[in-house]
Amino acid sequence: GQQVMQIPQYQHVQEGEDFTTYCNSSTTLSNIQWYKQRPGGHPVFLIQLVKSGEVKKQKRLTFQFGEAKKNSSLHITATQTTDVGTYFCAGPFGNTDKLIFGTGTRLQVFP
Amino acid sequence: DTGVSQDPRHKITKRGQNVTFRCDPISEHNRLYWYRQTLGQGPEFLTYFQNEAQLEKSRLLSDRFSAERPKGSFSTLEIQRTEQGDSAMYLCASSTGQGARADTQYFGPGTRLTVL
């Protein structure tokens, strides 16, 4: 079945350092979505990428969709303690709307 | 508050009991989804509705699970004869459901179920 993997599983960084999480799908995706989940919270939508090779930026966050539409990355520049949480990528399964979530990358930022 | 709401936020029950959760989606969102999330894992799809029609059910949804959306607005998820393995966070999400393209899903705060 379709699988979405993320690496690394955990990342601990010093405040001000950069952070990157990588997402890989076993199948081609029509789009990729990124969510952030704070400890004890629920997934919050960050962004959706649709086009091959697309790059989008949200302040210190840069999202990229691979040319083959099977992988994606999220890069955070100069992390802050407010970036703490688990970052999930998710893609639609087949031609439906249901999302297959990645395994997530848990980010811890030390002040 | 115009976001997705879920009730209750926490539920502790004894094995074998039945539980029911409620989800109120964002107003005018046609699609409503149920996911289950266990500690350290990403949300896993359970089922979803387009208005009142249940379009798909995951294999994860055993016969003890049933979901309804009778009027195309709020939805309920019932688990009969709960087992300890049912302990998880049950998340509800909704989206506008425009066409076949997956659009943004907005998640509720979840219901954390603990089965003793």
**pLDDT, tens digit, 9 for 90 and up, residues A42-96:** 999 999 999 999 999 999 999 999 999 999 999 999 999 999 999 999 998 777 7
Are residues A73 and A89 in contact, defined by beta-carbon separation less than 8 angstroms?
Answer: no
pLDDT beyond 90 at B17: yes
B32 — alpha (psi -120 to 50), left (phi > 0) or beta?
Answer: beta
Query: Is the CB of residue B103 less than 8 Å away from at least one CB of chain A?
Result: yes
List C-alpha distances in Å: B14 to B21, B80, B84, B87, B92.
Answer: 16, 12, 9, 11, 23
Cβ contact B107–A43 (<8 Å): yes
Amino acid letter, A84: V
Chain B residues touching residue A33 (CB < 8 angstroms): 102, 104-105
Mutate to test the interface with A, among B35, B89, B94, B96 (most CBs of A within 10 A): B35
Distance CA A39, CA A19 (A): 18
In this predicted structure, what is the pLDDT of residue B61?
83
Cβ contact B42–A41 (<8 Å): no
Distance CA B68, CA B52 (A): 8
A1 to chain B nearest CA, in Å? 12
| Residue A92 bridge partners (DSSP) | A99
CA A35, A40, A42, A46: dihedral to nearest 10 degrees? -30
In this predicted structure, what is the pLDDT of residue B28?
84
